[in-house]
Amino acid sequence: MATKILSVDDSRTIRLIVGKAFRPYDATVIEASNGEEGLAVAAREKPDLIILDVTMPVMDGVTMLTKLKEDPALKAIPVIMLTAESGRENVLQIARLGVRDYLVKPFKEDQLIEKAGRCVTLEKRPAAAPAA
């Protein structure tokens, strides 16, 4: 069964880049554009991994992470923070909440795959057969 990855980011650009990064793998990327939507999608879809932005409207990533970790049904889902903010205090605050890893924008797609691969199984999709 394909690995299910939830990308929570208010930037459609970042959600598209995350989707593109996982395209070569047997993975399904689902999306949410803020923390509130992210919690609802996580509860419904039970993803294997969440890739979460910090600064978002409606509900930010830190609040979503806090609520996720308070929910017995969702707290075991590994979370990678993907954010433009890397200040020491910021990272420490988020680390205390139980984040699995932290990736700072700007980032390369292979850095994201490497970090995701430490949290979930990522298998390459078989190459498409050439047209007859």
Partner 1 sequence: MSQTIQVPSICEFMNRHLVDVFETMLSMKSVPASSENLPQFEDKVTGSVAFAGDRINGAVYLHLGTAFAGQVAGAMLGLPAEELGEPEVNDVVGEVTNMLTGGLKSWLCDSGAECAVSTPAIIRGSSFMIEPVPDVDREWLVFDCCENRIAVEIHVKVS
**Residues at the contact surface with partner 1, assessed by CB under 8 A:** 10-14, 16-17, 20, 55-57, 83-90, 104-108
Least separation in angstroms between residue 21's CB and partner 1 is 10
Measured from the CB atom, the residue of 91 and 97 that comes closer to partner 1 is 91
Least separation in angstroms between residue 19's CB and partner 1 is 10
Least separation in angstroms between residue 75's CB and partner 1 is 27
Measured from the CB atom, the residue of 70 and 89 that comes closer to partner 1 is 89
What does the H/E/C string look like for the chain?
A: CCEEEEEECCCHHHHHHHHHHHCCECEEEEEECCHHHHHHHHHHHCCCEEEECCCCCCCCHHHHHHHHHHCCCCCCCCEEEEECCCCHHHHHHHHHCCCCEEEECCCCHHHHHHHHHCCCCCCECCCCCCCC
Q: Measured between alpha carbons, how far is 47 from 38 in angstroms, rounded to an integer?
A: 11
Least separation in angstroms between residue 3's CB and partner 1 is 22
